[in-house]
Amino acid sequence: MEEDQERRLHKEKVEKYRGTFKIWLQHLLAEDEGINPRQTDPKNVARLLKIYQIDGCHRLDPQHYVPVVIEDERTYLTQSSSGSSSESPPFLQIDDDRKLKYLHGHHRLQAAKLFLSPADAWWTANLYSEDLSEENKCAIREDFLAASNFCDGDIYRHFRRCSLGNDPKAKTWLARLSESKRRDVLQLHKAAGKDGHMRRFRDSLDSLLAFPGLWQALHIGAFHRLLTLRCPEELAHYVSHIQAVWGYICDHDQAIESRLDAPTVERLQGRCPYYSLEDSHEIELAMAHRKIFPSVLSQHVRTGILGRLRNIKHLIPSLHTFLEDTKYIEPCVQIMKNILPKTHQGTVLEGFTKLHNGQETFHEQTTEAHIQATHEPANIAHWKSYRQLWLFAFRHFPEMTGSPPRKDIGKPRPSRPCIEHTWWHKIASLAQTFGYRNISTLFPQSEDADTRMTQQFLHHIRPTQYYQFDEGAAGRD
């Protein structure tokens, strides 16, 4: 059966082949990102440009030809055939404003535009009739792509697109990953099974499938770390925020979303153009010089994108900022988990929801030492209290967990801060004030934090195997 399919595709490919021609680069146009699975990688373009500078581009070597589809081929091919020679393909005679789509070879053509002079900017292409079946077009792309390296994000994106469409090629995409990364993907999907705790997070990632440029920053190796956090609701909220922001930037227009490229995302992520004059100026220059959204040609559409970018009043998020920010959340998750009973198996949010006593008084922490009470429905009081505990953990996690700052490149490793048990005492007291039950069993309120620290100090300088002393004396005046 498979052999018959290969014969059929080969026969059609031969029948639809229209010859080999030189084509000026200005006439060659990439397929939409949604069709061609390869995202533009500036590093790969730079790598190819370096090779061209050292060894030339070898554009007459058949293994470097690009496949191109053409309509109305009779007119163009008749005019182009005159003057052809067996030694070199003829130039394709084509109108100045005409564009032809190529099926692969995007990076080599981008590098060629930088390497070749305008008077010599052409490439060799194998031409096929536009009525070539979509199945054969996919086969031509995949012949090339099978030997290409893909980033984790592109692989996962196309794996999910195929999975959602019940396309058997999903297994082919998954097979591109290393064994450990395949295991991470399968572990995520097992945890996201029917009503699984990671389902919301996986679905939020699926909402980004329409934006090809977002995926280059994804590292599948991070999935294992994200699974152990046990806070999929917070992760999904962040990823949904990414979708909302980029949907707004692209005006929720699928045509613009499909043209979002990785270099554009890299230039915009982390910027706050509404409040930062520098960011706003940089974005204006990038738009004017087509450094962002280069494949969006309409000036009217580009002006609209720029206007929406200027209105963004927060940092522009991406999967890169997501992965970096989850590093910050890790020690805070450990604090939140330690407040929960050790027997709790669900997510962090589920654990605190079960512990809340349903009180309709919300205690707002205005300073470290001051709390004011207001009346709120029980669900609102719990949600606000839960967020306040997270904020406390964010403020004090270095002293609570002993986590050192991240090491800067070229600088000495920072020292690890000392753990201050006072903050554990305070977060336990705060959680109890907010209406969370059973906290006292984990952090006894009768135990003064200063007394505990004094006892630990005495045990350190006077080991119990050599000394005896009154434990209660540390707490007396």
Query: Phi then psi for 445, rounded to 5 degrees?
Result: -70, -25
List the alpha helices (DSSP H) in 298-345.
299-310, 319-339
CB 52 within 8 A of CB 115: yes
- Alpha-carbon torsion, ordered 197, 198, 200, 205, to 10 deg: 180
Strands (E), 90-137: 100-102, 122-129
CB 348 within 8 A of CB 340: yes
Q: What integer pLDDT is reported at residue 445 of this predicted model?
A: 46
- For the record, the structure tokens of 314 come out as 């927060």
Instruction: Identify any residues that bridge with 213 across adjacent strands, giving them in sequence order.
Output: none
Which 3 state secondary structure label does DSSP give 7?
Answer: helix
DSSP state of 361: E
Q: What integer pLDDT is reported at residue 177 of this predicted model?
A: 87
Instruction: Find all residues with CB under 8 Å of 477, minimum gap 6, and list them.
Output: none
Cβ burial 195-229 (10 Å sphere, 16+ → b, else e): eebbbbbbebbbebbbbbbbbbbbbbebbeebbeb
- Give the integer Cα–Cα distance in Å for 144 and 4: 22
Q: What integer pLDDT is reported at residue 232 of this predicted model?
A: 95
Closest CA to 264 of 107, 40, 32: 40
Instruction: Find all residues with CB under 8 Å of 332, minimum gap 6, and list them.
Output: 390, 393, 394, 397
Which 3 state secondary structure label does DSSP give 103?
Answer: coil
CB 453 within 8 A of CB 422: yes
What does the pLDDT profile of the chain (477 residues) look like in tens digits? Answer: 556 777 788 788 888 888 889 999 999 988 765 455 556 778 888 888 888 887 888 898 887 889 999 876 555 555 555 444 446 789 988 887 888 889 888 888 999 999 999 999 999 999 998 888 888 887 777 666 555 567 899 899 999 999 999 988 888 888 888 889 999 999 999 998 877 889 999 999 999 999 999 999 999 999 999 999 999 999 999 999 999 999 999 999 999 998 899 999 999 999 999 999 999 999 999 999 999 998 888 999 999 999 999 999 999 999 999 999 999 899 999 999 988 888 888 899 999 999 998 888 888 888 888 888 888 898 999 999 999 999 999 999 988 888 877 777 778 877 777 777 788 888 988 898 899 987 644 454 445 556 666 666 666 666 666 666 665 555 555
- Give the integer Cα–Cα distance in Å for 356 and 432: 9
